[in-house]
Amino acid sequence: MKLKQLLSVLLAFTVLFSVMTACGSTSDEPDSAVTTSSTEAEEEAVTVDRDNTYAYDEDAPSLYEAFAQWFKVGTAMNISDLVEGTEEFEILVKQYNVFTLENESKPDAMHPSEDVYNFDALDQLVEFANEYDKTVRGHTLVWHSQCPDWFFYDDDGNTVSADVLVERLIEHVTTIVSHYKGEVDVWDVCNEVLGDSGGLRDSMWYQIIGDYDGDGDSYDYIEIAFTAAHEADPDARLIINDYSLESSESKAISMYMMVKSMLEEGIPIDGIGLQMHVDIGFDVETCKNNVEILMKLKSIDPDFVIEVTELDLSCFTWSDTSTEVELTDEFLEQFDSLYSDIFEMFIEFSEAGYLDSVVFWGYYDGMSWLNGYPVSGRTNYPLLIDRDYKLKSAYWSLIDLAESKS
Ligand code: XIL
């Protein structure tokens, strides 16, 4: 008799325990819990607490998978983030499928003096990308910033001639692009060539090389760079990258005119990179208008595309000089819905055949260049993952958007 009683008590406990396990802990479920499908059993539902999900959690969604039908989603990162087994590594693998080095593939890092090339960092990124089936963007071959002086001066400190700089430019582009032939999928060949008041930036490249072929325009250093890159790797996608194209109509028109002229001359440019360092005052309609201007280039090359190359959404407008912002519910609502509007626009661009990939300039708030720039001592929150690697509400608004559009 005693044994029978014991058995029935045990049975009751077993039943109760399995019911509790199947339902999850019901007593303290958070308000914001959502249901997602489990990999264990399709019918069984598990809960994800949106306020407490880390970007590397197994149950967390994947941003690049959520938008895979429209475009790739990537991030800038540093090679020190690629240590297997770390949270950073897990986040990168799980959330993104395009990668670019934030600083380590710029001219000063890759080609610090005439006879020295540093391929280590980008080699490691390429190796990672091959193993995990990711895309690599090379950023950047030619730029006025983070470019060492040796390009422009001789041993006596005098400015070199156009012939010498052209030779150095071709050598630089050819050596780097050939090294990564078939491995780096996309190159930002030239970065920020336009000035803020329209027309070409008054850089050393422009000043020294100028109208080298005497055809009446001074796009020559850009033309030489793209031609050399294409010869070194005919399959790489070659991008001309710049800022404010999404917000300044006059800059978008300057870009359009310049690229049109080069495409008509047969210069191998495959697309325009919109950096998209935008802020809380961003206007989606202006961006759509400007992209329509740029995409008129499809009449010359139907495969011409735009890429979003450096997306972040500053919590401060450009003219704001404050260092702190209060993340009130109202502010976050505005921030999240702006991110959502921006991605809805990206979906439209993709459906129109314009957009190939969206790359963030960093993957969590703590690493963003916008902390301390352009206002020193500033703390900013421009990305989708917070300083503790938790998914922010803006992240979830994008996941909801992708689901609603699927
Ligand atoms: C920034 C990096 O994020 C910083 O770490 C560095 O100190 C300066 O450059 N446009 C570009 C990027 O094309 O290369 C810049 O990256 C941000 C603006």
For residues 359-381, give the mean pLDDT: 98
Specify the pairing of strand 45-49 against strand 33-37: antiparallel
- CA 177 – CA 174 distance, rounded (Å): 5
Report CA Rg, the chain: 25
Amino acid 40: pLDDT: 53
Amino acid 25: pLDDT: 37
Residues 6+ apart with CB under 8 A from 120: 79
> pLDDT tens, 9-45?
444 444 344 434 433 333 333 344 444 444 554 444 4
Q: Which of 310, 356, 365, 386 is catalytic?
A: 310
Cβ neighbours, 10 Å, residue 299 = 10
Amino acid 46: pLDDT: 55
Residue 71 Cα to ligand 1 middle (Å): 23
- Kindly compute the dihedral angle of the four CA atoms of residues 96, 102, 105, 110, in this order, to the nearest 10 degrees: -150
Residue 190 Cα to ligand 1 middle (Å): 14
Ligand 1, atom nearest to 139 Cα:
14
For residues 311-318, give the mean pLDDT: 97
Q: Which 8-state DSSP code applies to residue 54?
A: B
> pLDDT tens, 178-200?
999 999 999 999 999 999 877 99
- CA 195 – CA 198 distance, rounded (Å): 5
Residue 89 Cα to ligand 1 middle (Å): 21
Tell me if 369 CB under 6 Å of ligand 1: yes
Amino acid 20: pLDDT: 41
Question: Nearest 5°: phi and psi at 272?
Answer: -110, 130
Q: Which 8-state DSSP code applies to residue 140?
A: E
Tell me if 275 CB under 6 Å of ligand 1: yes
Residue 361 Cα to ligand 1 middle (Å): 8
In percent, the amount of the chain with pLDDT more than 70 equals 89
Q: Which of 104, 242, 312, 356 is catalytic?
A: 242
- pLDDT for 155 beyond 60: yes
Q: How far is CA 234 from CA 228, 229, 238, 357, in A?
A: 10, 8, 9, 20
For ligand 1, atom 7: residue with the closest CA: 369
Amino acid making up residue 11: L
Amino acid making up residue 352: A
Residue 146 Cα to ligand 1 middle (Å): 9
Amino acid 51: pLDDT: 92
> pLDDT tens, 46-96?
578 999 999 999 999 999 999 999 999 999 999 999 999 999 999 999 999
Tell me if 103 CB under 6 Å of ligand 1: yes
Concerning whether 242 is annotated as a catalytic residue, the answer is yes
Neighbour-count burial for 366-394, b at 16+ CB within 10 Å, e otherwise: ebbbbbeeeeeebebbbbbbbeebbbbbb
Concerning whether 310 is annotated as a catalytic residue, the answer is yes
Amino acid 39: pLDDT: 54
Tell me if 102 CB under 6 Å of ligand 1: yes
For ligand 1, atom 13: residue with the closest CA: 191
More reliable by pLDDT, 128 or 40: 128
Lowest mean pLDDT, pick from 19-28, 269-278, 293-302: 19-28
Concerning whether 167 is annotated as a catalytic residue, the answer is no
pTM confidence score: 0.89
> pLDDT tens, 322-358?
999 999 999 999 999 999 999 999 999 999 999 999 9
